[in-house]
């Protein structure tokens, strides 16, 4: 057995699809419709670099999975990395997320010494973006 995908329940599929593809650069790899047996519509997205996947799940009224939506139910956060990157690159990524509908959480490059930023997606799920130190930063710290 191997881990393959994280599934996220969303309230507006197209809005979330736009956010995850435009703001985070994920690519649609598969779509499905399970409304015939009481499910919903799903879209599987993949990060081109890491190959990790996220599945967005939307359930219509009357679906066996429909119920009161509470942001973050059973999902703490999604963690993305820029890899080795500068603080300016992290700041650009943070601003891009906000431009595409993310909401600030109070944890941004200015409050985390430039190492990470957190936002919430359009449905309130936390997304954290971090970076690893550049070669110059590693040399300066002696590590």
Q: What is the CATH number of the domain that holds 89?
A: 3.10.180.10
Q: What is the pLDDT of residues 24-80, one digit of tens each?
A: 999 999 999 989 888 899 999 999 999 999 999 999 999 888 888 777 665 767 889
The answer to the question of residue 124 being in a domain is yes
pTM of the model as a whole: 0.76
- For residues 72 and 127, the model is more confident at 127
- Tell me how far CA of residue 48 lies from CA of 11, 70, 73, 132, in angstroms: 25, 30, 27, 19
Query: Are 134 and 85 found together in one domain?
Result: yes
Residues 86 and 135 in one domain: yes
pLDDT category of residue 2 using cuts at 50, 70 and 90 = low
- Number of structural domains (the chain) is 2
Does residue 25 lie within any of the structural domains? yes
Q: What is the pLDDT of residues 32-45, one digit of tens each?
A: 998 988 889 999 99
Which residue range(s) make up the domain with 12? 5-58
The answer to whether residue 40 sits within a structural domain is yes
User: Is 72 contained in some domain?
Assistant: no
108 Cβ neighbours under 8 A, 6+ residues apart: 94, 117, 118
Q: Answer whether residue 104 is part of any domain.
A: yes
Beta strands in the chain (DSSP E): 5-9, 27-33, 41-46, 53-58, 77-84, 103-104, 116-120, 126-132
């Amino acid at each position: 057995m191997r881990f393959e995908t994280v599934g996220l329940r969303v309230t507006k599929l197209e809005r979330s699809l736009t956010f995850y593809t435009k703001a985070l650069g994920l690519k649609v790899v598969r779509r499905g419709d399970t409304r015939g047996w009481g499910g919903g519509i799903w879209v599987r997205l993949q990060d081109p670099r890491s190959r990790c996947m996220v599945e967005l799940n939307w359930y219509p009224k009357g679906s066996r999975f429909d119920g009161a939506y509470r942001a973050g139910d059973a999902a703490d956060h999604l963690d993305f990395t820029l890899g080795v990157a500068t603080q300016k690159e992290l700041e650009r990524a943070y601003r891009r997320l906000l431009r595409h509908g993310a909401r600030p959480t109070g944890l941004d490059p200015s409050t985390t010494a430039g190492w990470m930023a957190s936002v919430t997606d359009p449905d309130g799920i936390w997304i954290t973006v971090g970076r690893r130190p550049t070669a110059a930063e590693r040399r300066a710290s002696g590590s």
